[in-house]
Amino acid sequence: MKKTAIYPGSFDPVTNGHLDILKRALRIFDSVIVAVTDHRSKGPLFSVQERTALFRQAAQGLKGVSVENFNGLLVNYARKKGACAIVRGLRAVSDFEYEFQMALMNRHLSQRKKEPLETVYMMPDEKYTYLSSSLVKEVSRLGGDISHFVPRSVSAALLTKNRIPVKKT
């Protein structure tokens, strides 16, 4: 039986840490659906369509990955897609409380079905534990080099959004 997981997030923008979690999830699940959420309340820099396109580019060549956007309850989306699990990344202990609450709520909401939706936490490679989309956006906005933290397409998109001239190499 094919095992599908959902990897939800705002991914504003996708980082190498997100890709690390995705690759780890692919070792466990047959397929992973990256579900880009439309969290307008977070005031994203990129639209949901831009974030979805950037993640698609970043995940190009990874077998078993699809990238979609969605809104609404995650448990409903996951059931509609036939997923058995939600994949979430944990960078530090500070992430755990929020993630724990979300996992318990998702389990509660999914228990009306015979099999509750499980949440699988994955830790990124230690070189990404400090990395966040917010930090990447801030460093980029201030003109710092983010090329080691994000895929090339994301770096270029951030430079364009921040109206920073692209250096010719």
18 carries an active-site annotation:
yes
141 carries an active-site annotation:
no
Catalytic one of 79, 88, 110, 133? 133
DSSP 118-148: EEEEEPPPGGGTT--HHHHHHHHHTT---TT
Work out the widest C-alpha separation in the chain, in whole angstroms: 57
Q: Quick check: 122 and 90 in contact, CB under 8 A? A: yes
81 carries an active-site annotation:
no
140 carries an active-site annotation:
no
Catalytic one of 42, 108, 113, 127? 42
**If you ran DSSP here, which 8-state letter would residue 13 be given?**
T
Catalytic one of 23, 91, 107, 161? 91
The set of catalytic residues is 18, 42, 91, 133
